[in-house]
Amino acid sequence: MAAGDDECTASVGEITISPVKVQRLPHLTHYLPNLKTFPNPLDRNQFYRPSDGFYISPCDVILRQITYDLSGIFPLPPSHLAYHRAGPRKQIFFDPSMIRVAIVTCGGLCPGLNTVIRELVVGLWELYGVRQIYGIIAGYRGFYSFEPMALNPKLVEDWHKRGGSVLETSRGGFDLEKIVNSIKDHEFDQVYVIGGDGTMRGAVTIFDEICRQKLNVSIAGIPKTVDNDISIIDRSFGFQTAVEMAQQAISAAHVEAESAVNGIGLVKLMGRSTGHIALHATLSSRDVDCCLIPENEFYLEGKGGLFEFLEQRLKQNGHAVLVVAEGAGQDMIPRSDAQKKETDESGNPVFLDIGRWLKSELKSWWDRDHPGELVTIKYIDPMYMVRAVPANATDNLYCTLLAHSAIHGVMAGYTGFVSGPINGNYAYIPIAEVANAKNPVNTMDHKWAWVRSVNNQPDFIKR
C-alpha cells in the first residue's frame, strides 16, 4: 500500500484488509502526488515535538472486527473491513491562515455538545492557527436565518462546564439549497456538523450536493446521540453522563418505593429505539426490579406478565422499582388517529408517554385486584434533567478527542466523514455509513442475560 493512497487493500498472510474509503478533497480526484499541500503547523508548535510515528499515514488503519472464531466452524471473512486511523497528517490540504470554518449543532440536547464546540474552536485555533471560526445559530435553519457568530478561545473558555448548546439547536428547517448557498456566500471551507441520526442524514445530503457542485468544502460529522443508538463507533458522547444521571433518578425512585406501603417507583429513561441507557443504569444501580426496553416486547396481564411479577416482588420486598425506556411498549398504548399521524418538526413520529400510561395501568390493576389495599406509585421522568447537564469528566475528555480527531481529518482534506472510536482507536468513517447504522441492544447477548440474572425479571416470552 503506497503512502498517500487511501484506496489500496493489503494482504497480510491469508488476511486481506480493505480500508473503507473516505472522500478527500479536491473532489472527485484521487490523491494527487503533485497536489499543493501545506506542512502541518504542528511542526512549528512549541508544545509538540513531532517524531517518527507522530503523524498518521494513510496506511494506518483500524480493523472493524477484532474477535474471530478460529475453530473452523464458521468461515472467516475473506476480507477484513478497516477504517483509516484518525490523527494529524504530515501534509495538510488547507492553508489555515486562509480558511473559514462553520460549526452547527442540531436535534435534541445531549451532555457534551458545548465541549465539542469548545474543543473544535480551541483545537482549530491553537493547533492549526485558524482564526475565522463561526458558530451557526439554532441548527440547520441558522445557515440562512441568522448571522454566524464569531468564535474564539476566550469566548468559549468555560463552555464545557455548561449544559445544552450555547449555539442553540433546533429541529426541522433543513433547506438544502439555502444551506449550500449560505456555505458558498459565507465562503466556508470547513463545516462541522454535530447532531443525531437526522442531522447526519442532513449532512450526507449537504455533502452530496457539495460534491455535485465540486466545491472544495469539507463536511465533517460528530455524531451526537445520548441514547447510544449509533453503530460502528464504540459509543456516543453524553451517554455515560446520561447513565450516571439516570442512576440518580433510579435511586430517588428506590427511596420513594421503600418508604411507602406497596411502593412502586417508576422511572422513564431516554431511549426511543434502543434501551442502552435503561440497560446500563439498571446494571449499575442494582435497585431495579424490572427493566423494559424497546428491543424486548413485554405484556402486562397473565402468566409471566408484568403484573404477576410485581405482585410477587411486592409480597417479597414490600416495594419494587421499574425502569422503562421511552420507546418501549409504544404499540401497547392506545392512540387516536390524530396521534398516529403526529410528527415533530423534523418528521420523526411523536412518542406517547409510556411512563404516564404505565402508571395509570398499574393503578387500575392494583385497585381491581387489591381493593382497599394501599399502593403508592411514584413516577419519575428525569429526561430533560438528564439531557441538560454538562458532560461528566469521561465524556468531557471523550468530546475533546472526538473534536480533535475531526479537525485533523478535515485539515488533511478528508470530507463526508465522521470521527469516532472503533475498538478504542479513533477512525474516519463515511457519514453515510454512520447515518444509517442502528445499534439496538442485543437481547441474545450476555449483557441482557446479565440484567435478567441481576433482577430475575420475566423474559416476557409467552409460552
Task: List, by residue number, the catalytic residues.
Answer: 227
Give the residue with the Cβ less far from ligand ATP, 42 or 166.
166
Give the residue with the Cβ less far from ligand ATP, 99 or 386.
386
The reply, when asked if residue 308 is annotated as ligand binding, is no
The reply, when asked if residue 225 is annotated as ligand binding, is yes
* Residue 173 in contact with ligand ATP, rule: CB under 6 A: yes
Tracing cell 450476555 back to the chain, one arrives at 446
Site string for ligand ATP, 305-344 (x = CB under 6 A): ----------------------------------------
Task: With both helix axes pointing from N to C terminus, report the angle between 354-369 and 306-317 in degrees, rounded to the nearest 10.
Answer: 70
Stretch of 66-74, 194-202, 274-282, 333-341 lying at the interface with ligand ATP (CB under 6 A) = 194-202
Per DSSP, 20 falls in state P
| HSE value, Cβ hemisphere, 13 Å, CA-based, for 256 | 19
Stretch of 191-199, 236-244, 247-255, 288-296 lying at the interface with ligand ATP (CB under 6 A) = 191-199
* Residue 107 in contact with ligand ATP, rule: CB under 6 A: yes
Give the β-pairing of 149-151 and 132-136. Answer: antiparallel
The reply, when asked if residue 287 is annotated as ligand binding, is no
- Residue 430: strand pairing partners: 417
Give the residue, chosen from 135, 195, 265, 413, that forms a contact with ligand ATP under the rule CB under 6 A: 195
Least Å from the CB of residue 410 to Mg ion? 24
Distance of alpha carbon 340 from its chain centroid, rounded?
Answer: 27
The reply, when asked if residue 112 is annotated as ligand binding, is no
263: partner contacted, choices ligand ATP, Mg ion, none (Cβ within 5-8 A by kind): none
Give the residue with the Cβ less far from ligand ATP, 314 or 389.
389
Least Å from the CB of residue 220 to ligand ATP? 15
Contact residues for 180 (Cβ-Cβ < 8 A; gap 6+): 206, 209, 210, 213
Least Å from the CB of residue 105 to ligand ATP? 9
The reply, when asked if residue 302 is annotated as ligand binding, is no
Give the residue with the Cβ less far from Mg ion, 196 or 416.
196
The reply, when asked if residue 386 is annotated as ligand binding, is yes
Give the residue with the Cβ less far from ligand ATP, 198 or 390.
198
| HSE value, Cβ hemisphere, 13 Å, CA-based, for 444 | 0
* Residue 273 in contact with ligand ATP, rule: CB under 6 A: no
Least Å from the CB of residue 362 to Mg ion? 29
Residue by residue, DSSP assigns 339-361 as HHH-B-TTSPBPPP-HHHHHHHH
Tracing cell 450536493 back to the chain, one arrives at 209
Give the residue with the Cβ less far from ligand ATP, 225 or 455.
225
Measured CA to CA, the distance from residue 84 to residue 424 in angstroms comes to 13
Give the residue, chosen from 108, 123, 238, 329, that forms a contact with ligand ATP under the rule CB under 6 A: 108
- Name the CA dihedral angle for 52, 92, 236, 327, rounded to a multiple of 10 degrees: -150
The single-letter code of the amino acid at 194 is: I
* Residue 106 in contact with ligand ATP, rule: CB under 6 A: yes
Task: Indicate the SS3 state at residue 323.
Answer: strand
Question: Which element (helix H / strand E) includes 177?
Answer: helix 176-185
> What burial letters (b/e) apply to 359-380, b meaning 16+ CB within 10 Å?
bebbeebbeeeeeeeebebbbb
* Residue 174 in contact with ligand ATP, rule: CB under 6 A: yes
* Residue 140 in contact with ligand ATP, rule: CB under 6 A: yes
Site string for ligand ATP, 347-386 (x = CB under 6 A): -x--------------------------------------
Tracing cell 392494583 back to the chain, one arrives at 366
C-alpha cell at 193: 456538523
List the interface residues with ligand ATP, window 198-237 (CB under 6 A): 198-199, 201-202, 205, 225
Please give the span between the terminal C-alpha atoms of the chain, in angstroms, as a whole number.
56
The CB-nearest residue to Mg ion is 196
List the interface residues with Mg ion, window 188-207 (CB under 5 A): 196-198
The total of other beta-carbon atoms located within 10 Å of residue 184's CB is 13
The reply, when asked if residue 413 is annotated as ligand binding, is no
The reply, when asked if residue 418 is annotated as ligand binding, is no
Measured CA to CA, the distance from residue 73 to residue 82 in angstroms comes to 24
The reply, when asked if residue 141 is annotated as ligand binding, is no
Please state the length of the chain: 463
The single-letter code of the amino acid at 26 is: P
Where is the binding site for substrate, in residues? 225-227, 270-272, 326, 384-387
Query: Which residues of the chain form contacts with ligand ATP (CB under 6 A)?
Result: 106-108, 139-140, 171-174, 195-199, 201-202, 205, 225, 346, 348
Query: Which residues of the chain form contacts with Mg ion (CB under 5 A)?
Result: 196-198
